[in-house]
């Protein structure tokens, strides 16, 4: 659901997160209250906020298709951020929403995320590419 609100700050008065949460809840057959709480948790998280707004965000896309070994993969969120290091190259971030609080502990989730990262590395040769889970608690859990 946070991807439905991307491009606008959670504090933006023109964006009604409640309306977006109700639409997402209908789409995914979930409760609108719970959907809005999860979205707010992620969008308000100091760790995750930079992936949705701010001056370092150069490009972002949701449900981004990437080809890999004849398969079409869908990346939940792909962003290009200015590196935090002075003079650093922009960095691609492959982000996967997992509402469980410890998605990094599941081998299947880790393998999926690393496959997405590797596909982006092949599509963006020479560019730094990192990957992380965004949890329902608003944590950014980077995987190497």
Residues 75 and 20 placed together within one structural domain of the fold? no
Task: Verify that 119 and 65 share a domain, yes or no.
Answer: yes
Q: Is residue 15 scored above 60 in pLDDT?
A: no
> CB-side exposure of 16: number of CA atoms within 13 Å?
5
pTM of the model: 0.81
Under a CB-based contact definition with an 8 Å cutoff, are residues 42 and 2 in contact?
Answer: yes
- 71-81 and 57-68: which strand pairing? antiparallel
| Band of residue 100 on the pLDDT scale cut at 50, 70, 90 | confident
The answer to whether residue 85 sits within a structural domain is yes
**So what's the pLDDT on residue 19?**
72
Domain assignment present for residue 98? The answer is yes
Average pLDDT over residues 40-66: 95
Considering the chain, what is the average pLDDT of its residues? 85
3-state secondary structure of 35: helix
Q: Is there a contact between 78 and 92 (Cβ–Cβ < 8 Å)? A: yes
What pLDDT was estimated at residue 17? 66
Domain membership of residue 72 as a residue range = 55-143
Helix (H, G, I), strand (E, B) or coil at 105: helix
């Amino acid at each position: 659901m946070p991807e439905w609100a991307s491009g606008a700050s959670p504090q933006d008065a023109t964006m009604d997160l409640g309306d977006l949460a109700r639409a997402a809840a209908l789409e995914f057959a979930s409760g609108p209250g719970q959907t809005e709480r999860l979205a707010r948790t992620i969008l308000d998280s100091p760790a995750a906020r930079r992936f949705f707004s701010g001056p370092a965000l150069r490009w972002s896309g949701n449900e981004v298709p990437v080809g890999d070994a004849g398969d079409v993969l869908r990346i939940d969120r792909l962003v290009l951020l200015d590196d935090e290091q002075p003079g650093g190259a922009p960095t691609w971030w492959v982000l996967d929403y997992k509402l469980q609080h410890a998605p990094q502990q599941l081998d299947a989730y880790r393998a999926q995320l690393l496959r997405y990262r590797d596909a982006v590395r092949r599509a963006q040769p020479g560019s730094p590419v990192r990957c992380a889970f965004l949890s329902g608690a608003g944590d950014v859990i980077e995987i190497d």
